[in-house]
Amino acid sequence: MSTYVYGLVRSGHPFDVEGSPGVGDGGAPVRPLSAAGVAAAVSDAPEELRAKRRDLIVHAGILDRLMRQGPVLPMRFGTVADGDKAVVRELEQSSERYLSRLDALEGRVEINVKVSHVEEEALREVLAADLDLRRERDRMRTEGAVQAEMAAFGERLSAALEELRRRDAGLVLDALGPHAEEVSSGPLVDGCLANLSLLVREQDAEQALAAVEDMRSAAGALLEVRVNGPLPPYSFVEGPEREEGAP
């Protein structure tokens, strides 16, 4: 049977999630697998695993409870190993790396910040900054334009918007980076200009969140800012490629 892996902790962790229902219909109980000073929080993997809201909440809840009692290396939702033996083998082979990372993450949490432009405000900003572009827009509105002129204007406008995205992505990093011990950049999903995960000490989380709010206020209506956290440090587990079937 396959084994579902939630995260890794030290073997001495209180592990108060033991017996809690895990992911999947019926929720097989969560249990520890320990080797070489590291323990994996696992359960029997369901035959069919989908990213249902209930299962996402269960996965995150188990990690949150583990994190409240000590450092945790969280696995992404859907991490499945080829049985308990594969998990134990991975723990034995990589225990030194896992223990080192657990030491580095003790007392740390992740805050994820996704920043996007509000489209109308970004257009207004670009046109306000470029007189020639604004005049060309006004001329086409008044006199009309052939397809080639409209295409050329569209290319110039797209280039100006891309330059604005690059500028503001840099400003976001400059504003938030100093408040984090480590910063991880994620994929630019949903058209966002910045997708940053900040690794911060638990006692500094409020200060980091305040910096996000300061950035939001300074940007006015130009930026849409979405914040998630504090979270287990998903983006900072690190480590080399794992063998197939290992956590």
**Contact (CB, 8 A) for 156 and 133:** yes
**Contact (CB, 8 A) for 21 and 35:** no
Question: Which pLDDT value is given to residue 244?
Answer: 38
Convert the pLDDT of each residue in 65-103 to its tens digit.
Answer: 999 889 999 999 999 999 999 999 999 999 999 999 999
Per-residue pLDDT of the chain (247 residues; tens, 9 = 90+): 899 999 999 998 999 999 999 998 888 999 999 999 999 999 999 888 888 899 999 999 999 999 988 999 999 999 999 999 999 999 999 999 999 999 999 999 999 999 999 999 999 999 988 888 888 888 888 888 778 888 888 898 999 999 999 999 999 999 999 999 999 998 888 789 999 999 999 999 999 999 999 999 988 899 999 999 899 998 998 733 343 344 4
**Contact (CB, 8 A) for 226 and 113:** yes
User: What is the DSSP secondary structure assignment for residue 83, as one 8-state letter?
Assistant: S
Amino acid symbol at 218 = A
CA distance 214 to 210: 6
Q: What residues contact 99, with CB distance under 8 A and at least 6 apart?
A: 10, 37, 38
| Long-range contacts (CB closer than 8 Å, 24 or more residues apart) made by 61-67 | 62/6, 62/7, 62/17, 62/20, 62/22, 62/30, 63/6, 63/7, 63/232, 64/232, 65/16, 65/17, 65/20, 66/6, 66/7, 66/9, 66/13, 66/15, 66/17, 66/41, 66/232, 67/109, 67/232
Q: pTM for this structure?
A: 0.80
Question: Which pLDDT value is given to residue 239?
Answer: 38
Tokens 């994996």 found at:
40
Question: Which pLDDT value is given to residue 72?
Answer: 93
**Contact (CB, 8 A) for 90 and 247:** yes
Average pLDDT, the chain: 89
